Amino acid sequence: MENNINLLFFHPSLNRHSDEKHLYIVQLLLYIVIVSTIALKKDDFIPVPAGANITFHRLVWENSGKSESIRAGSNLRFHTLVDDSTALHTHEFAEFFLVVSGKVRHLINGETQELQSGMLVFVRPTDVHGYENLGNSLCEIVNVAFRLEFLLDLSSYLGNDFFLRKYTGPVVSPIFKLSVAEAEDLTLRLIRMNALQETATDLARLKIKILVAEVFTRFFFETETALSKDSRPDWFDALCVNISKKENLKVGLAVLKKLAPCTQEHLCKCFRKYLDKTPTEYIAELRIRRAAKEIVETDRKILAVAMDLGFQSLSRFYGMFRKYYGISPAKYRLLSRRNDIPL
């Protein structure tokens, strides 16, 4: 029980309460919940060589029968659930999961979060959480569980633990909304890494470390996709999805203005408010990310990739690519395709 008590103080937000009586009640309630939950051990759920485990889950609620979980392969689970909620649990490792399709209610530290397709959720080791039926909706989730050493190594490498404070600070799980394209891209990458876990453990560990570093530095250094009380309107999200289409991305700002159901002035204010960048900066970022994806996944000439995405100047494309990725497009292609990098 001593370990469970110590876990309570992992959240800096709890330690900042000035009212000691209120703090005591919060800690007591959390302690009661924690000691009554299932504790998952890292050695039981995370392979030591890979340091992480990627699993896919399909949750289906039934009105009768009995709850059961069926394994379809080492990392694929089909869960048929009769009870309205799954068992609450905590664990010795960190994880994040992406809702691939459907919707589900997330029970977390005594609070609830309604999750739907495209939501990326971060769970800390001290969190007590589970899932609850939400409208009898089938829900598919991809989960990445990994050892805390990954985050400590990243913090040491960056010489900065700011992202860790943002990760651990909220009482409930941090949630970010991904676009359709971003969610599909992340799911595809995880499917590929999942296969590597079985065939090339060293390479899988390297790629998962890179992914964890990329995800955490993006979502806990940048805030453009964070859900907040002042959430983005539907038309704005739809606009971001439409402009990310290749045919619109090539045209750029002109088509963005045409698709937007508002004045140019209001559009600029919305981009500043919700993404903390101008429409021009946003389009440039989308173009560079799309270019990087095509450079890695195809053998097309770099000049053709740049021109197809609307870059009028090759020198400008190279300059922007170096700004975002630190290396030239050709070197990025070479490094991304190597599979013999020693650890």
**199, 203, 209, 211 alpha-carbon torsion, rounded to 10°:** -80
Give the start-end residues of each E strand in the chain.
38-40, 52-61, 68-71, 76-81, 89-91, 94-108, 111-116, 119-123, 129-132, 139-146, 175-177
Pull the structure tokens for residue 86.
């799954």
Query: Out of 238-242, 253-257, 261-265, 339-343, which region has the weakest mean confidence (pLDDT)?
Result: 339-343
Residue 27, CB-side half-sphere exposure with 13 Å CA sphere = 20
How confident is the model at residue 293, as a pLDDT? Answer: 83
Secondary structure element (H or E) that encloses residue 273, with its range: helix 264-275
How confident is the model at residue 175, as a pLDDT? Answer: 92
Q: How far apart are the first and last CA of the chain?
A: 38
CB neighbours (10 Å) of residue 209? 19
How confident is the model at residue 26, as a pLDDT? Answer: 42
Domains of the chain in start order, with CATH, are 2-36 (no CATH), 40-221 (2.60.120.280), 234-337 (1.10.10.60)
Instruction: Tell me: pLDDT of 74 over 60.
Output: no
When mean pLDDT is compared over 81-85, 172-176, 195-199, the highest value belongs to: 172-176
**224, 228, 233, 236 alpha-carbon torsion, rounded to 10°:** 0
Question: What are the pLDDT digits (tens) for 76-128?
Answer: 566 666 667 788 888 888 999 999 888 999 999 888 999 999 999 999 988 89
Report pTM: 0.56
Average pLDDT of 222-238? Answer: 63
Question: What are the pLDDT digits (tens) for 243-275?
Answer: 888 888 888 889 999 999 999 899 998 888 887
Q: Do the beta carbons of residue 177 and residue 225 sit within 8 Å?
A: yes
* More confidently predicted of 21 and 61: 61
Query: Out of 6-10, 12-16, 126-130, which region has the weakest mean confidence (pLDDT)?
Result: 6-10
Instruction: Tell me: pLDDT of 5 over 50.
Output: no
Pull the structure tokens for residue 263.
């004045």
